[in-house]
Amino acid sequence: MDPRMCRKISSSESLPDVENEEYEVSTIIAPQESDENFMLDGSPEPHSVTWLDNDQIDDLNLDDQTNLCFHRVDSADIIYRSKKKKCKMVGKYVMGDVLGEGSYGKVKEMLDSETLCRRAVKILKKRKLRRIPNGEQNVQREIQLLRILRHKNVIELVDVMYNDEKQKMYLVMEFCVGVLQDMLEASPGKKFPQRQAHDYFTQLLDGLEYLHGQGVVHKDIKPGNLLLTLDQKLKITDFGVAEALDMFSPEDTCYTGQGSPAFQPPEIANGAEQFSGVKVDIWSSGVTLYNMTTGRYPFEGDNVYRLLESIGRGEPAPPPAALGPALGQLLTNMLKRDPDLRPTVHEIRKHSWVQARPALEAGERLVSPRSRRSDELHTSTVIPYLVERHYPSAQDYFTERDLRHELGDGGSRTLSTAELSDAASSRRKRRWHSSCGRLPSCRLT
C-alpha cells in the first residue's frame, strides 16, 4: 500500500473547520493484497479489511525503513466510508452541528422533535466553567435573568437541562443565524452600510429600552453579543455579566464591570468604585454603532492595558466626516466621557439620525449573515442526523475510483478533503432519492 495515500487522508486533520465538513472521510480500508506491513490489527486472513481512523493514520510510522517498499494498489481497492452522523437526543431535542465555540463550551444547533422548531443550545461543562473567573456565578445569573426577560429583541431562553453524570448543562435558546461580529468581519471594510447599521441599531435601542425598564443592565453590549434570527430580528444575548438593579433604589449604581475592554467606558477603565449602569450600556452601544458604521473603534491600543489607558485618559477618535453630521453628532454624544452627559435611550430615539432611515447608497450592498458552512441558506444541520436515525441503511461505502470518476478526474492529482466530502455528500443525496422512490406512497418531485 502506498504510504502517501495515508498521509493524504490524514492531512485532513490539519484543515480548518474539519468538524463542519458535511461528510468527512474518516476511514480508509487497507487492502490485504500481499503484505502484512500495514496490518495494524494483525489479522492475517486475506481479503479482510482493516479500518483506520484519522488517529491511527497519524500514528502510522511511515519513516520506518521496512515500509519503504511501495505496493501498487488499485484505486477500486481503496474504500472510503462516509462519517456516520450519529443521531443524538438530549431530552426531546435532536442535536445538530456546532454553531460556535466559546471558552465555556460549544453552541450547537438542535431541533425540537415535538414542535420541529430549530433551536440553539449552549453546552456548558462544569469542568471548564470552574476555570473561568466567576464562571459558575455568571451562568447562574444569566439563567435567572433570561428566565424573567421576554422581549422581541432579547434572546429567549427556551429550556434548561442538566446532565449530572456528564457534568453538563444545556441552555436551549432561540435559533439565530449569525452574530453581527462575524458579519462585520466578513464584509468589505468590516462595516455595514448605514441603512443596515440603522436597522440593527434601532432594534438594539428597543431591546435596551426594555432591559433598562426591567432594571437590567447588560454591561457587555458589542457586535459579538448581538445575534440575528432568520427574519433579521436582532437579539441581545450573553447576559453573563449583566446585573439586575435594585428595584427599590432610584439610582442605577453598579460596582463591577467585566465586559469586553474595547467597549468599556472611561469610568470602568479608570477603575471607578461605582458608576451608573445604564450609561455603561449607552457608551457600549455608541462604540458598537461606531464600529458598525466605520469598521474601526473609537479607541485602539496594542494590548488591553494600553487600550484601557487610552479609554481612561484620552478622547475618542472623532467620527469620520464621511458619516455625515447627524451620525457624527450622535456618536459624539454617546461617547461623552462624563456619563451624565450621555443621552438616555429615549433621547437617542429622538435623534435625527435614528428618526430618518438612511437610504442605501449607490454601490453599497447589504451584508448577509455569514455561514460557517458553505450553505448560504442556513439549512438545518439536524437533517443529516435525522436521516441517519430514520434510514439506517444509508451507510455509504465508496472507492477511490468511484470518487475520481465522479469528479471527472483522471486521477492525476490529489483530492482535497473538501472535494472528497462534496463527492460523498452528492452521492448521499442521490442515495436519498432512490430510497424515496422505494416508498410506494411517495413519488419524487
Partner 1 sequence: MFNPDFNDYQLTSIITECCGGVAVVYSALYKPSNQNVAIKRYFVDKTKENASLIQQDILTRKELQHANILPYLTSFVHGRELYVVSPLMTFGSCRDILDRYFHEGLPELACAIVLRDVLQALQYLHKQLYIHRSVRASHVLVGANGGVRLSGLRSAASLVLRGRRQRHLHQLPPPDHDNTNLMWLSPELLEQVHTQPQLCAASLVLRGRRQRHLHQLPPPDHNNTNLMWLSPELLEQNLKGYDEKSDIYSVGVLCCELGNGAVPFAEVPSTLMLTEKVRGSRPQLLDCSTFPEPCLDDTEMKSMYNTDSGVGDSADAVCRLRALYAARKLSDTFHHLSELALQRDPDKRPSATQLLNHPFFKQIRKTDYLPGLIGRVKPIKPDPNDMSALLLQEKLSEMEIEKTTEWDF
Residues in binding site: 122
What is the DSSP annotation of 383-412? HHHHHHHH-GGG--EEEHHHHHHHTT--S-
**Which residue in the set 14, 65, 412, 445 belongs to the binding site for partner 1 (CB under 8 A)?**
445
332: Cβ contacts below 8 Å, ≥ 6 apart: 318, 319
Applying CB under 8 A, does 360 fall inside the site for partner 1? no
275 is written with which cell numbers? 458608576
**Which residue in the set 250, 390, 408, 410 belongs to the binding site for partner 1 (CB under 8 A)?**
390
Cα separations in angstroms, 189 against 83, 196, 200, 259, 348 = 38, 14, 18, 25, 26
220 is catalytic: yes
Applying CB under 8 A, which part among 95-103, 124-132, 165-173, 380-388 lies near partner 1?
380-388
Applying CB under 8 A, does 431 fall inside the site for partner 1? no
Applying CB under 8 A, does 434 fall inside the site for partner 1? no
Applying CB under 8 A, does 50 fall inside the site for partner 1? no
Which of positions 117-136 make contact with partner 1 (CB under 8 A)?
Answer: 117-118
Applying CB under 8 A, does 245 fall inside the site for partner 1? no
CA 143 – CA 378 distance, rounded (Å): 27
Which of positions 206-235 make contact with partner 1 (CB under 8 A)?
Answer: 229-231
Applying CB under 8 A, does 383 fall inside the site for partner 1? yes
Quote the least distance from Cβ 96 to partner 1, whole Å. 12
Cβ-contact 290, 201 below 8 angstroms: no
Looking at the Cβ atoms of 15 and 89, the one nearer to partner 1 is 89
- Among residues 129, 198, 155, 222, the alpha carbon closest in space to that of 352 is found at 198
**Which residue in the set 47, 86, 350, 443 belongs to the binding site for partner 1 (CB under 8 A)?**
443
CA 124 – CA 80 distance, rounded (Å): 34
CA 266 – CA 280 distance, rounded (Å): 9
b (16+ CB within 10 A) / e for 320-329: eeebeebbbe
- Among residues 258, 252, 262, 220, the alpha carbon closest in space to that of 237 is found at 220
Looking at the Cβ atoms of 66 and 445, the one nearer to partner 1 is 445
Applying CB under 8 A, which part among 1-9, 293-301, 309-317, 381-389 lies near partner 1?
381-389
- 20 phi and psi angles, rounded to 5 deg: -95, 0
The DSSP code for 154 is B
Applying CB under 8 A, does 303 fall inside the site for partner 1? no
Which of positions 80-119 make contact with partner 1 (CB under 8 A)?
Answer: 94, 111, 113-118
Identify residue 404 by its one-letter amino acid code. Answer: R
| Binding-residue total with partner 1 (CB under 8 A) | 36
Applying CB under 8 A, does 381 fall inside the site for partner 1? no
Binding residue positions for ATP: 122
Catalytic residue among 220, 238, 252, 422: 220
Applying CB under 8 A, does 13 fall inside the site for partner 1? no
Interaction site with partner 1 (CB under 8 A): 94, 111, 113-118, 175, 177, 229-231, 368-369, 376-380, 383, 386-387, 389-391, 432-433, 436, 439-445
Catalytic residue numbers, as ranges: 220
